[in-house]
Amino acid sequence: MVIVLKSNIAQNSVKDLIENIRAKDLDVNVSEGHNHTIIGLIGDTSKILPEDLQSIDIVDSVKRISEPYKKANRKMHPEDSIINVAGKMVGEGMFHVIAGPCSVESEEQIIEVARDVQKSGATMLRGGAFKPRTSPYAFQGLHGEGIRLLLEAKKATGLPIVTEIMNASHLDLFDEVDVIQVGARNMQNFELLKELGHCSKPILLKRGLANTIEEWLMSAEYIMAGGNSNVILCERGIRTFETVTRNTLDISAVPVLKEKTHLPIIIDPSHATGKSALVAPLAKTAVAAGADGLMIEVHNNPAAALCDGAQSLNPKQFDELMADIKRRVEFEGKTM
């Protein structure tokens, strides 16, 4: 961390600052310029937030040099992490497609969709049991019953299941779930992240609507700091001024994350755009960008879907997309 001091300040207040820093088990390197003195911090600065140093009245600005995340940092763990999901490996060289409806609606629906997406080549089944909806009056999911139905679909097909948690007190219900999803709106629900750090299940951590990549990695760090290293990142579009798509897919996040972290990264083109017609072209870009997989909404009757129908493919559209995706995954030298 580098601290730039204001110009024309008293020497003894600089001394005080340096003593304060040393009191936190850090060393300093002072460099005097014409107008500005610069203090470099030496040691583990991960406990220090730049905002806190910023408060000191002789400080002009603060610049972090080392990343504030350690366990998620590729520098500390140069090889790609491979996450074991019920025996299936997620990460380097493998490509996964997680497919299924926005919401679990009935046993027939989820089993039919599960069979359809499996036939087309999906490797995991998604389905919402607890649904974060902006309106308290909108359908909120079947809750425990929804998870029960997902498990029926798993029994019928063997597909591992992925479903979202919204409340740590529901954790018991997720006992047989294969991947626990943290949704965009809970990316900085630090209490939930801490709890998930104490279990050993794979966590699919979606990026928040307006969170930077660094904040996202810090949320992964919350889970990992608790002892659970099984984190899969999922980019699902960020909020911008553009309104033609529901969100703006930040495809650059894939190569940026591949440099900064060893964790796998998948793309959710369905939520990123909110439009089924854009799912296929964006899924293709995800493969080309180097993502480790896709999460795609598929519904057996999108027009009647209880939520988010606009962005769901029907099984036939999904099947066509998968045929194309398989060729592309092969082109990239990966396996599905």
What is the amino acid identity at position 83? I
**CB neighbour burial string for 174-195, b if at least 16 within 10 angstroms, e if fewer:** beebbbbbbbbebbbbeebbeb
Select the residue interacting with a copy of itself from 289, 300, 326, 336 (CB under 8 A): 289
Q: Residue 89 or residue 168: which is nearer to a copy of itself going by CB? A: 168
Does 323 bind a copy of itself (CB under 8 A)? Our answer is no
| Residues making up the chain, counted from first to last | 336
The DSSP element (H or E) to which 15 belongs, if any, is helix 11-22
Single out the segment in contact with a copy of itself by CB under 8 A; choices: 36-44, 110-118, 152-160, 174-182: 36-44
* CB 180 to a copy of itself: min, Å: 15
Select the residue interacting with a copy of itself from 198, 288, 316, 335 (CB under 8 A): 288
What is the amino acid identity at position 112? E
Does 251 bind a copy of itself (CB under 8 A)? Our answer is yes
Q: Residue 153 or residue 216: which is nearer to a copy of itself going by CB? A: 216
Contact 95, 335 (CB under 8 A): yes
Q: What angle do CA 207, 200, 72 make, to 5 degrees?
A: 45
**CB neighbour burial string for 243-253, b if at least 16 within 10 angstroms, e if fewer:** eeebbebbbeb
Torsion angle of alpha carbons 166, 49, 201, 321, nearest 10°?
Answer: 70
Q: Residue 144 or residue 290: which is nearer to a copy of itself going by CB? A: 290
Pairing of strands 37-42, 2-5: antiparallel
Q: Is 148 helix (H, G, I), strand (E, B) or coil?
A: helix
Binding mask 218-247 for a copy of itself (x = CB under 8 A): x--xx--xx-----------xxxxxxxxx-
Contact 3, 59 (CB under 8 A): yes
Q: At what angle do helices 315-331 and 276-289 cross, to 10 degrees?
A: 20
- The contacts of residue 277 (CB under 8 Å, 6+ apart) are none
Binding mask 157-176 for a copy of itself (x = CB under 8 A): ---------xxxx-------
Select the residue interacting with a copy of itself from 8, 11, 55, 87 (CB under 8 A): 55
The DSSP element (H or E) to which 297 belongs, if any, is strand 293-297
Does 12 bind a copy of itself (CB under 8 A)? Our answer is no
Does 8 bind a copy of itself (CB under 8 A)? Our answer is no
Rounded to a whole number, what is the distance in angstroms from the first to the last CA of the chain?
42
How many residues contact a copy of itself, by CB under 8 A? Answer: 105
Pairing of strands 27-32, 179-182: unpaired
Select the residue interacting with a copy of itself from 127, 160, 302, 315 (CB under 8 A): 302
Q: Residue 94 or residue 140: which is nearer to a copy of itself going by CB? A: 140
* Subset of 114-153 contacting a copy of itself (CB under 8 A): 132-138
Select the residue interacting with a copy of itself from 9, 14, 38, 171 (CB under 8 A): 38
Q: Residue 38 or residue 156: which is nearer to a copy of itself going by CB? A: 38
- The contacts of residue 241 (CB under 8 Å, 6+ apart) are none
* CB 5 to a copy of itself: min, Å: 10
Select the residue interacting with a copy of itself from 173, 254, 294, 295 (CB under 8 A): 254
Select the residue interacting with a copy of itself from 15, 31, 92, 335 (CB under 8 A): 31
* Subset of 260-279 contacting a copy of itself (CB under 8 A): 272-274, 276-278
Does 86 bind a copy of itself (CB under 8 A)? Our answer is no
* CB 87 to a copy of itself: min, Å: 30
Q: At what angle do helices 253-260 and 276-289 cross, to 10 degrees?
A: 30
Q: Residue 56 or residue 151: which is nearer to a copy of itself going by CB? A: 56
